[in-house]
Structure 1
């Protein structure tokens, strides 16, 4: 990937922030410029191939795999599933408040998975797609280390060492895949819009204001706070991804917000 030399100053600022706030954490970030006519270019990066527990960032992959199956004619977004087809799981969102008699279309489940990070909706889609299908799709678009190995909220699998994993480079590659499709048809447009309706804004976009649209996804586990997506600005569209691991959650949230403020100010005011 080409590197933009002017981004060296941003890397210095971010590394100093990390050293000050979370020197013992495992922290990766990647800031890149996306362009319809050119290859993606790195502005600043750190640990971009470091493998992290993905938390809910894996849901972006599940969404893209679902839409690829629809584009191939293997599934249709208006097909439905009953909540009975996968066990109820907790972790926030909406479905856990409903009884088992409800049915939802694949599109509705995907919207709940992405906008509200609903874990039950996610598990229903994993059940329908199959983990092998999701992982095969990841490999097909060039994701090197990303793997779906367990259902959401599966503490037994985690205890046995089966963890969903991802790198910031893989996620940026996935976002680029979605970005180039955003205006190519209804499926690409839907993925782009779903990312833009994310309701959790406590990390990267915290200081940006509610009027700034950030097409992103967040992820949380114990001592894990991830955030990453695509930010359209006057100067272009930029990918911003930060994975924060082995940092207490309250500190990780604050670090993510501070990094987001630093990155946006650099892109708007210091990048040529």
Structure 2
């Protein structure tokens, strides 16, 4: 993948932040250009192929596979599934507050999974779509480092070291795929709009202001803080991924926000 030499100064600035705030942590990032049907170019990167615990970032893959099946006529987004089909789980989301007697459509579960990072909605979709099918689709997309190996909040699976995984590079490739679909059909447009309605803005876009649109997904767990998505600017469109592991969550969140501020300032003020 082609690299832009001007990004070296950004890499130095980001490394200084990492050295100051999380020198012992596992930190990956990737900033790329995005253009319709063109190959991404790397502006700045660090450990972009390293594997991290997936946390909620794997939900982007689930969404893409759901819409792929609908686009191929194998699934109707308007069909309903009862909450009672899958055990209730804790964590992020809103469905925990609702009786399991209710039913929602595939599309509604997807929106809850992405916008509010709802774990129960996610597990319903994983069960309905099938882990093996989701992972096989990731292989076809060329993002095999994004994998689903357990349900959300499955502590027993975690203890058995069955973990969902991601890498910054494969996430960027997945976002590029969705980016290229955004104007092609209602399916692509809906995925794009869902990413733009993300409610958690405490990492990459924290210092940008609420008026700045970021099409993204966040993910967090114990000593895991991730964020990644697409920023559209007058200088062009960019994919920004920041993955932070083995760092206390408060520190990692502050680091991710500082990195997001530095990256945006570089795009606006220093990128040729």
Equivalent residue for 1:171? 171
Q: Please tell me whether the aligned partners of residues 37 and 180 of structure 2 are also in contact (alpha carbons under 8 angstroms).
A: no
Cα deviation 1:143-165 (Å, max 9, x = unaligned)? 13221100000000000010000
State the TM-score, normalized to the length of structure 2.
0.99
Correspondence for 1:158: 158
Correspondence 1:175-254 to 2 at 5 A: 175-254=175-254
Cα deviation code 1:63-103 (max 9, x no counterpart): 00101111111101001100000000010211000111100
Gaps of 5+ in 1: none
Tell me how far apart the structure 1 counterparts of residues 207 and 152 of structure 2 sit (CA, whole Å): 29
Question: How far 1:38 moved relative to its partner?
Answer: 2.4
Supply the distance in 1 between the matched residues of 2:63 and 2:263 (Cα, whole angstroms): 27
Inter-partner Cα distance in structure 1 for 2:238 and 2:210: 18
Match of 2:57 in 1: 57
Q: Residue deviations 1:239-258, cap 9 Å, x none?
A: 00000000000000000000
CA distance in 2, matches of 1:114, 1:17: 29
RMSD of equivalent CA atoms:
0.6
Q: Which runs of 5+ in 2 are unaligned?
A: none
CA distance, structure 2, for counterparts of residue 249 and residue 238 of structure 1? 26
Following superposition, the deviation at residue 37 of structure 1 comes to 4.8
TM-score, L = length of structure 1: 0.99
Partner SS state of residue 237, structure 1: strand
Structure 1 residues 16 and 107, CA, compared in 2 at 3 Å: closer, same or farther? same
The answer to whether the 8 Å contact 2:242/2:256 transfers is yes
Aligned positions, number: 272
Structure 1 residues 130, 265: CA separation in 2 closer, same or farther (over 3 Å shift)? same
Matching residue of 1:91: 91
